[in-house]
């Protein structure tokens, strides 16, 4: 479904109508022929679908009315951005699935109680990476003075994109889960720290990584990125 913003004419559009997909990049708005994605039904896709089904059922059958109300209150007070850059509010159900699907990916305990702080965690502007062909690892840099790094059940999760030629300037996926760093109120992670490459990397390739922060109360940040040219 396309989102359309009207002004004197059409001010912005994102999504698909009939056979045309509308989007925007750094150079402005564009339209392209819509392509139907292939569904290879991989093991990873099956796992994601199973997680969505599990959490949907958990929202309905496990959470009590007070917990659902707390997530709805959180959603009503937290402003997000849609594809047109407009301010919107997601439902409590959306936030519950959004946060707990991430926790499920990293294998941590789910959070059923709705957050009582009405803001998503801040992004880490220091997030950076370097890669090495020889070790097939990245060195990840992040700010260990942020709140997530100094609390139990706070995490920084990282995803790696498929390696690209060095002249590539844009990347939108696919991504693969790479690993996470856990917060600790006594001994926060001492960055830079290693991270095994999930796709094989070679010298001079360009690689993108993105990260999210999840707080102990289940609040999940927006994604933030880093890219690097792989070294020897």
Determine whether 150 is exposed, middle or buried from the number of CB atoms within 10 Å of its CB (0-12, 13-18, 19+).
middle
**Based on the domain organization, do 17 and 68 belong to the same domain?**
no
Q: Considering the domain boundaries, does residue 200 fall inside one? A: yes
**Based on the domain organization, do 52 and 25 belong to the same domain?**
no
CATH of the domain at 223: 2.60.40
**Based on the domain organization, do 134 and 159 belong to the same domain?**
yes
**Based on the domain organization, do 14 and 90 belong to the same domain?**
no
Q: Considering the domain boundaries, does residue 122 fall inside one? A: no
Indicate the angle between helix axes 65-77 and 92-105, nearest 10 degrees. Answer: 100
**Based on the domain organization, do 151 and 224 belong to the same domain?**
yes
Helix (H, G, I), strand (E, B) or coil at 6: strand
Q: Considering the domain boundaries, does residue 53 fall inside one? A: yes
**Based on the domain organization, do 29 and 72 belong to the same domain?**
no
- Chain centroid to Cα 68, Å, comes to 23
Please name the helix (run of DSSP H) or strand (run of DSSP E) that holds residue 228, with its range, or none.
Answer: strand 224-229
**pLDDT, position 86:** 82
**Based on the domain organization, do 173 and 194 belong to the same domain?**
yes
Number of domains composing the chain? 3
Q: Considering the domain boundaries, does residue 94 fall inside one? A: yes
Q: Which of 172, 167, 166, 225 is nearest to 201 (CA)?
A: 166
Considering 105, 120, 143, which residue would you say is the last residue of a domain?
105
Q: Considering the domain boundaries, does residue 115 fall inside one? A: no
Per residue of the chain (232 residues), what is the pLDDT tens digit? 555 565 555 656 666 776 677 666 655 666 666 766 666 667 767 778 889 999 999 999 999 999 999 999 999 999 988 877 788 899 999 999 999 999 998 889 999 999 999 999 999 999 999 999 999 999 999 999 999 999 999 999 999 999 999 999 989 889 999 999 999 999 999 999 999 999 999 999 999 999 999 999 999 999 999 999 999 9
Q: Considering the domain boundaries, does residue 118 fall inside one? A: no
**pLDDT, position 20:** 73
Contact (CB, 8 A) for 139 and 193: yes
Helix (H, G, I), strand (E, B) or coil at 211: strand
**Based on the domain organization, do 92 and 27 belong to the same domain?**
no
**Based on the domain organization, do 83 and 136 belong to the same domain?**
no
Helix (H, G, I), strand (E, B) or coil at 147: helix
Q: Which of 172, 167, 143 is nearest to 83 (CA)?
A: 172
**Based on the domain organization, do 80 and 11 belong to the same domain?**
no
Q: Considering the domain boundaries, does residue 113 fall inside one? A: no
Determine whether 190 is exposed, middle or buried from the number of CB atoms within 10 Å of its CB (0-12, 13-18, 19+).
exposed
- What does the alpha-carbon distance between residue 232 and residue 172 come to, in Å, rounded to a whole number? 25
Report the Cα–Cα distance between both ends of the chain, in Å, rounded.
45
**Based on the domain organization, do 141 and 210 belong to the same domain?**
yes
**Based on the domain organization, do 29 and 47 belong to the same domain?**
no
- Tokens linked to 110: 């789910």
Determine whether 159 is exposed, middle or buried from the number of CB atoms within 10 Å of its CB (0-12, 13-18, 19+).
buried
CB neighbours of residue 104 within 10 Å: 19
Q: Which of 156, 163, 152, 154 is nearest to 198 (CA)?
A: 163
Q: Considering the domain boundaries, does residue 211 fall inside one? A: yes
Question: Which residue range(s) make up the domain with 10?
Answer: 3-33
Determine whether 114 is exposed, middle or buried from the number of CB atoms within 10 Å of its CB (0-12, 13-18, 19+).
buried
């Amino acid at each position: 479904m396309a989102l359309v913003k009207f002004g004197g004419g059409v001010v912005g559009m994102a999504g698909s109508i009939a056979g045309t997909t509308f989007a925007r990049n750094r150079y402005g708005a564009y339209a392209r022929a819509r392509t139907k994605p292939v569904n290879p039904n991989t093991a990873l896709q099956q796992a994601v679908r199973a997680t969505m089904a599990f959490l949907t059922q958990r929202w309905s059958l496990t959470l009590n009315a007070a917990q659902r109300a707390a997530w709805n209150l959180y959603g009503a007070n937290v402003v997000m951005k849609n594809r047109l850059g407009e301010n919107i509010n997601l439902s409590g159900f959306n936030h519950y699935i959004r946060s707990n699907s991430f926790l499920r990916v990293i294998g941590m305990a789910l959070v059923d109680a709705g957050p009582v702080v009405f803001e998503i965690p801040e992004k880490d502007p220091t997030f950076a990476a370097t890669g090495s062909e020889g070790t097939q690892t990245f060195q990840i840099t992040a700010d260990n003075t942020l709140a997530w790094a100094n609390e139990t059940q706070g995490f920084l999760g990282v995803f790696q994109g498929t390696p690209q030629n060095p002249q590539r300037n844009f990347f939108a996926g696919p991504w693969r889960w790479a690993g996470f760093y856990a917060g600790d109120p006594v001994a926060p992670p001492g960055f830079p720290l290693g991270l095994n490459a999930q796709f094989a990397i070679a010298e001079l390739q360009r690689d993108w990584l993105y990260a999210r922060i999840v707080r102990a109360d289940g609040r999940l940040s927006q994604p933030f990125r880093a890219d690097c040219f792989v070294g020897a």
